[in-house]
Amino acid sequence: MDPVSLLVIAVISAAAVAATVISWRTIQTWIAGKRVRAGAYGGAARIISERMQNGNYRVVAGVFDSLGTRTAQQVWRGGSLDAELTSKFQQNGGVIVVHF
């Protein structure tokens, strides 16, 4: 692929990430699908976010079994967080823990 095409693809990708809103509902749905693998009881999910230098966000979630072994991980990138997710991070000191 020529350099101009690569540059166009990079610009379009960056714009798509900046326009994406990371939502609490998306994260909840992902956790619900992964918690079965971690076991029905005693596991937990931990979610953290980071604001990157370009102003976008990166949210990382991990699901852990009752022994603390990570059974799943997911990363979302977007230009903003929805109001519910922002509120949850503020209420929980920047780290959301969901026990199951």
Mean pLDDT of 76-96: 96
Report the distance separating Cα 89 and Cα 83, nearest Å.
10
pLDDT at 13 over 60: no
Question: What per-residue string of b and e applies to 46-82 under the rule 16 or more CB within 10 Å gives b?
Answer: ebebeeeeeebbebebbbbbeeeeebbebebebbbbb
pLDDT at 24 over 70: yes
Mean pLDDT of 11-15: 45
Report the distance separating Cα 65 and Cα 56, nearest Å.
30
Question: pLDDT-derived band of residue 10, with 50, 70 and 90 as boundaries?
Answer: very low
Report the distance separating Cα 59 and Cα 20, nearest Å.
12
pLDDT at 19 over 70: no
Report the distance separating Cα 72 and Cα 27, nearest Å.
13
pLDDT at 16 over 50: no
- State pLDDT tens for residues 36-67: 665 556 789 999 999 999 999 999 999 998 88
Q: Enter the tokens of residue 53.
A: 């230098």
